[in-house]
């Protein structure tokens, strides 16, 4: 008799679990496809795009986009975009960077038959969105003295500074503090491929001679635990000039020096 009394609650519990499991549905995957130019030396009207990457995302799984290694003459890589670039309208945040993270909720609205296509976008330097800042840094810690914890603290300081000024009109959402890894030749090549770095921190005096990166000016900056590190200004944009001047201030240099 005792066994019969225990059996009914057990059957009821199993029934509830079965009903719950049958009513639960996993989110469908979305296919993320990346296209890039296969003949970058051709005229723009003759560019041919090919699929270079494919991944699946859902609410539990994101995709990391590939490093862009295509260099297009007289153009800068803007990013991987769902929509076409519109001069004066598109913002840099509308495009995913190399190795950018694609989340399901970010792209599900753009899916067509379960597929989202991201196209590598290249624009003339004069058409590049201007209200942004890309602050690159050398992630080889034993050489540069920099690591992600330090640069996260720095990014907070950078955003606070941008919030305190108005003349540059930088969109707070258009700030990127980007890590570069590898030897100087590698980081230099990647900086040139990305084509959007405004300021670079943590390299030695050889960013041009060994990395091939052209720059406007550079300054020594003290970084705790290492020697002979520099900060480089790569262009003369208004926003670049403002951030570069601040990055050389006593407040910032003391921070990197560990004071």
pLDDT, tens digit, 9 for 90 and up, residues 193-234: 888 899 999 999 999 999 999 999 999 999 999 999 999 999
179 within 8 A of 100, measured Cβ to Cβ:
no
- Listed as own residue / partner, the contacts of 212-218 with beta carbons closer than 8 Å and 24 or more positions apart are 212/185, 212/188, 213/188
CATH code, domain carrying 203? 3.40.190.10
pLDDT, tens digit, 9 for 90 and up, residues 184-203: 999 999 898 888 899 999 99
- For residue 103, tell me if it sits in a domain: yes
Q: Give residue 24's pLDDT band: very low, low, confident or very high (50, 70, 90).
A: very low
222 within 8 A of 228, measured Cβ to Cβ:
no
User: CB count, 10 Å around CB of 129?
Assistant: 20
Claim to verify: residue 137 and residue 246 sit in the same structural domain: yes
- What counts of helices (H) and strands (E) characterise the chain? 7, 12
Residue 105 is part of which domain span?
Answer: 30-125
Domain edge (last residue) among 58, 92, 125:
125
Claim to verify: residue 115 and residue 163 sit in the same structural domain: no
Claim to verify: residue 103 and residue 139 sit in the same structural domain: no
Claim to verify: residue 152 and residue 121 sit in the same structural domain: no
Domain edge (last residue) among 74, 94, 125:
125
User: CB count, 10 Å around CB of 115?
Assistant: 12
Domain edge (last residue) among 101, 125, 149:
125
- For residue 196, tell me if it sits in a domain: yes
- For residue 5, tell me if it sits in a domain: no
pLDDT, tens digit, 9 for 90 and up, residues 115-169: 999 999 999 888 887 778 899 999 999 999 999 999 999 999 999 888 887 655 6
Claim to verify: residue 249 and residue 149 sit in the same structural domain: yes
117 within 8 A of 81, measured Cβ to Cβ:
no
| pLDDT for position 194 | 82
Q: How far apart are CA 77 and CA 81, in angstroms?
A: 11
Claim to verify: residue 169 and residue 194 sit in the same structural domain: yes
Claim to verify: residue 99 and residue 159 sit in the same structural domain: no
For residue 142, count CB atoms less than 10 angstroms from its CB and return exposed for 0-12, middle for 13-18, buried for 19 or more. Answer: exposed
35 within 8 A of 52, measured Cβ to Cβ:
yes
């Amino acid at each position: 008799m005792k066994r019969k009394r225990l059996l009914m609650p057990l059957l009821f519990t199993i029934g509830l679990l079965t009903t719950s499991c049958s009513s639960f549905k996993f989110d469908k995957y979305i296919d993320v496809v990346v296209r890039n130019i296969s003949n970058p030396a051709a005229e723009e009207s003759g560019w041919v795009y090919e699929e270079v990457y494919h991944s699946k995302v859902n609410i539990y799984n994101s995709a990391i986009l590939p490093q862009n290694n295509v260099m297009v003459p007289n153009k800068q890589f803007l990013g991987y975009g769902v929509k076409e670039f519109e001069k004066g309208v598109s913002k840099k945040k509308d495009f995913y960077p190399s190795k950018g993270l694609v989340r399901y909720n970010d792209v599900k609205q753009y899916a067509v038959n379960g597929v989202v296509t991201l196209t590598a976008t290249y624009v003339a330097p004069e058409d590049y969105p201007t209200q942004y800042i890309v602050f690159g840094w050398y992630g080889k810690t034993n050489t540069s003295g920099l690591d992600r914890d330090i640069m996260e603290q720095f990014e907070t300081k950078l955003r606070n500074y941008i919030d305190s000024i108005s003349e540059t009109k930088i969109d707070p959402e258009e700030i990127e503090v980007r890590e570069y890894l590898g030897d100087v030749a590698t980081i230099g090549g990647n900086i040139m491929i990305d084509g959007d770095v405004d300021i670079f921190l943590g390299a030695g005096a050889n960013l041009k001679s060994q990395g091939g990166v052209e720059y406007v000016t550079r300054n020594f900056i003290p970084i705790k635990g290492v020697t002979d590190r520099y900060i480089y200004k790569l262009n003369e944009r208004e926003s670049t000039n403002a951030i570069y001047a601040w990055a050389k201030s006593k407040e910032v240099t003391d921070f990197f020096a560990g004071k």
